[in-house]
Amino acid sequence: MELSHIRPTLTTNKIIVDTNVVIAASIIHNICKLNIVVKHKFHDQSDRLLSLLKRDNDCCGILVLTVKNESFRMLARAVYETFLSHSSANPQLRALFYNNSMGFVSSSGRKMRKLMRDLKKGEYDPKDLCKNIERVKSMSGDLRTELEERHAGKNRRRPESDRRAKTVLPGHRKQEQKKEVSSAHDARIARESLQLERFVRKSNSRDELILAETVSVMQFGEKTGGSYDFWIASWDSGFFAPYSDVKKSLQSVL
């Protein structure tokens, strides 16, 4: 999520804030007893974004219904995972969390409600939403088919490593350089394969609904005479990636 993508323009920027941004900004706890701060790994970036939306008149943060509901439903698990990642090297923190887990979740929940009050409710026509859900599902199906084919052909890309390695110039470290090139290329293919596998196997219904709601909010704005640039702020590359190129995804639905 790049803040440079949502700098103010002549028209108002409307930013649909995804669940993971709201959650990340809500999880921060100062553990005075242990002299440490436990916070979500994306807390600082998310907090800066929401602060920008709060103070900048040209940027309007939008909260759609699915994000609101999902944020509260997923908060407890996110708090648990955040503390778990910090407590792996700190047994005292783990014990402290298990003794007061509900207190930490409640504290994060209060902050989340406060953050949500600074976001505007996404308005749309329910009839448009029903139509857009079907359109998004169709687009998602086409994208899934394309990525399944790419994922199935991942092993055919392995020979590329050898071809890349052959471009290494002869020299004293020729064999070492070839290994480095091959390893780097193999690692990139492995990362891409994991990303494709994640998409192919995961359920995209929530992301589809958020996109459908976003399109519906856009249409509602057009009907009421507004002129806006729409964006989706998220740390998840799930259904439509990258989120910074959301205009392309939205246009394919409209």
Q: Is 44 inside any structural domain? A: yes
**95 and 169 assigned to the same domain:** no
Q: Is 14 inside any structural domain? A: yes
Domains contained in the chain, number = 2
- Residue 106 dihedral angles phi and psi, to the nearest 5°: -65, -40
Q: Is 253 inside any structural domain? A: no
Q: Is 102 inside any structural domain? A: yes
pLDDT in tens, 147-204: 666 666 655 655 655 565 555 555 555 666 666 766 776 776 676 666 666 666 665 6
**67 and 98 assigned to the same domain:** yes
- Per DSSP, 235 falls in state S
Question: How open is the CA angle 249-252-254, to the nearest 5 degrees?
Answer: 110
Q: Is 248 inside any structural domain? A: no
**115 and 167 assigned to the same domain:** no
**56 and 149 assigned to the same domain:** no
pLDDT in tens, 66-98: 999 999 999 999 999 999 888 777 888 988 998
Q: What is the largest CA-CA distance in the chain?
A: 69
Q: What is the pLDDT of residue 202?
A: 60
Instruction: Give SS3 for 29.
Output: strand
Average pLDDT of every residue of the chain: 77
Q: Is 223 inside any structural domain? A: no
Task: Provide the residue count of the chain.
Answer: 254
**117 and 172 assigned to the same domain:** no
Q: What is the mean pLDDT of residues 127-149?
A: 81
**56 and 115 assigned to the same domain:** yes
Q: Is 46 inside any structural domain? A: yes
Enclosing domain of residue 167: 142-201
pTM of structure: 0.70
pLDDT in tens, 19-44: 999 999 999 999 998 899 999 999 99
Q: Is 2 inside any structural domain? A: no
Q: What is the pLDDT of residue 28?
A: 96
Alpha-carbon Rg for the chain, nearest whole angstrom, is 22
Q: How is residue 15 written in tokens?
A: 């930013």
pLDDT in tens, 61-72: 999 999 999 999
Q: What is the pLDDT of residue 234?
A: 84
Which domain-ending residue is among 61, 89, 122?
Answer: 122
Rounded Cα gap, residues 14 and 17, in angstroms: 9
